Chains A and B, each alone.
Chain A
Amino acid sequence: MRSTELIRTEGRPRLSRHVRLMFDRVRERHVLLAPESVTVLNATAAAILAACDGRRTAAEIVEDLRGRYDQVADDQVRDFLLRLTERGYVEIGDD
């Protein structure tokens, strides 16, 4: 599958324009808002998505987060991004 390969290699993930990442002052948590869907995020998940700017590869995002969080497993980040790609919340640019 195309997005699987891209997440594993040089793809540069970015948030789809249909979704919104924001900090919810009421819950004091980041949330990902999409059509008919609300996902309350933990701090690591929020940091991963905030780093999806279409410029960095998944590998670069993992590297970046390692500096800030103790437990960032490469596979977990890629799986998380893949799940969101399958739902259409994250898109992969390959240029």
Chain B
Amino acid sequence: MIKPFGLLAELTYACPLHCAYCSNPINLGDYRDELTTEQWRRVLVEARELGALQAHLSGGEPLQRHDIVEIVHSAHRLGLYTNLVTSGLGLSRRRAEELRVAGLDHVQISIQAEEPVASDRLAGLRSFERKIAAARVVKELGWPLTLNVVLHRQNIDNIAGIIELAEQMAADRVELANTQYYGWAWHNRHALLPSRGQLERAEKAVRAARERLKGTTELIYVLPDYYSDYPKACMGGWGQRLLAVAPNGDVLPCLAAHQLPLPRASVHEHSLQWIWTESPLFQSFRGTEWMPQPCRSCDRRELDFGGCRCQAFQLTGDAARTDPVCRLAPEHGIVAEMVQAANDPERPSAAALRSRPHPDHSR
């Protein structure tokens, strides 16, 4: 049986930021009943037994959990490589030192832009200076630092400045990933999808910076898949490499899969072992049996696995269709139309964004 490499633990959807491209579910209010410390411990034990080697502690803002140090400690004692994915808010020096002692291995901090005014506007909160301070603490305590930057129409033109900031902060890795259009980002797609010209300029800047930073900072750049000829190999295949656990204990093959009309799987009712190996949810799109044409007879079926099931569902209403990003997909016109609209000279460069609320205000 295939074994997962990683567990994505979405500890809470509480978050002080309001990013309009947030990947969290729209129905945030449904996730307020969060797993307890003891339940998370059991999830970590079962994930390790299944073969997971990395625990990505994410959210929302994982530092909003009061038991984050205990959770890190438990994961570390199991031998999991622990990765904190944070906004940086709540990472005081004292908390950071506690996490260091608990065995945290790696910290990823998000920034929204290269300077405070734009960053704070996109985050919906004065947060830029606190993020920079948190990043400094991460380096001082000797952790590897990754900066995560979600790129879109309203910040991608400053990508060179973003990379320079990462350089100044001595980041070990920078993930420059264009927005993926799920959750809140889907609602804001017209204001977020960049133009072809923007992407070409960004790619040029990344190429130049890669040359300059060789051996010091690793630059990861992810194109918006709407502009690709073929779909992304989403999650390395359904139920192949990773399992995600939502704050309420729902287990998913991908963090966006909560929206699919599939039977639920929850740690409240089943072991991770059963969910991973036998549950109808994880079996739904494993392998190539489920594939429609043109995927079924396509040479690329083992390369991209038909693309993203959530995107297929989002765009066509049927999760078992070929990802419309693919130029061979019957519904590719849907994506082509959105790309065309993003390149309309009349399309504003900074349209208003609908920001993500706090979970408490979501209904």
Interface residues of A in 23-64 (CB under 8 A from B): 24, 26-27, 31, 33-36, 38
Of listed A27, A33, A35, A86, residue having the most chain B CB within 10 A:
A35
B261 contacts the other chain (CB 8 A): no
Whether B215 lies near A86 (C-beta < 8 A) is: yes
Chain B interface: which of A5-13, A14-22, A72-80?
A14-22
Nearest A residue (CB) for B79 = A22
Q: How far is the CB of A20 from chain B (nearest CB, A)?
A: 6
Interface size on B, residues (CB 8 A): 22
Whether A26 lies near B51 (C-beta < 8 A) is: yes
For A18, list chain B residues within 8 Å (CB). 105-106, 143-144, 172
B197 contacts the other chain (CB 8 A): no
The contact of A38 among B48, B54, B142, by CB within 8 Å, is B54
Q: How far is the CB of B260 from chain A (nearest CB, A)?
A: 26
Nearest A residue (CB) for B107 = A35
For B315, list chain A residues within 8 Å (CB). none
Cα of A20 to Cα of B6 in the assembled complex, Å:
15
Whether B5 lies near A38 (C-beta < 8 A) is: yes
Given contacts A20-B81, A27-B3, contact A38 B53 (CB under 8 A): yes
Nearest B residue (CB) for A25 = B79
For B3, list chain A residues within 8 Å (CB). 26-27
A93 contacts the other chain (CB 8 A): no
Whether A26 lies near B49 (C-beta < 8 A) is: yes
Of listed B81, B105, B142, B143, residue having the most chain A CB within 10 A:
B81
Cα of A33 to Cα of B189 in the assembled complex, Å:
36
B218 contacts the other chain (CB 8 A): yes
Q: How far is the CB of A74 from chain B (nearest CB, A)?
A: 24
Q: How far is the CB of B330 from chain A (nearest CB, A)?
A: 35
Whether A27 lies near B54 (C-beta < 8 A) is: no
Cα of A88 to Cα of B54 in the assembled complex, Å:
19
- The contact string, 1 if C-beta is below 8 Å from chain A, for chain B 66-110, is 000000000000010101000000000000000000000110000
B146 contacts the other chain (CB 8 A): yes
Nearest A residue (CB) for B50 = A26
Cα of A76 to Cα of B322 in the assembled complex, Å:
42
Q: Which 10 pairs of residues, A with B, have the shortest CB-CB distance?
A: A33-B81, A18-B144, A26-B51, A35-B106, A38-B5, A35-B144, A38-B53, A33-B53, A31-B53, A22-B79
A18-B105, A35-B172, A88-B218 are known; give 11 further A-B pairs, CB within 8 A.
A18-B144, A18-B172, A20-B81, A31-B53, A33-B81, A34-B81, A35-B105, A36-B83, A87-B218, A88-B172, A88-B215
Q: List 17 A-B contacts (CB under 8 A).
A: A18-B105, A20-B105, A24-B51, A24-B79, A27-B51, A31-B53, A33-B53, A35-B83, A35-B106, A35-B144, A35-B172, A36-B83, A36-B106, A36-B173, A38-B54, A86-B215, A88-B218
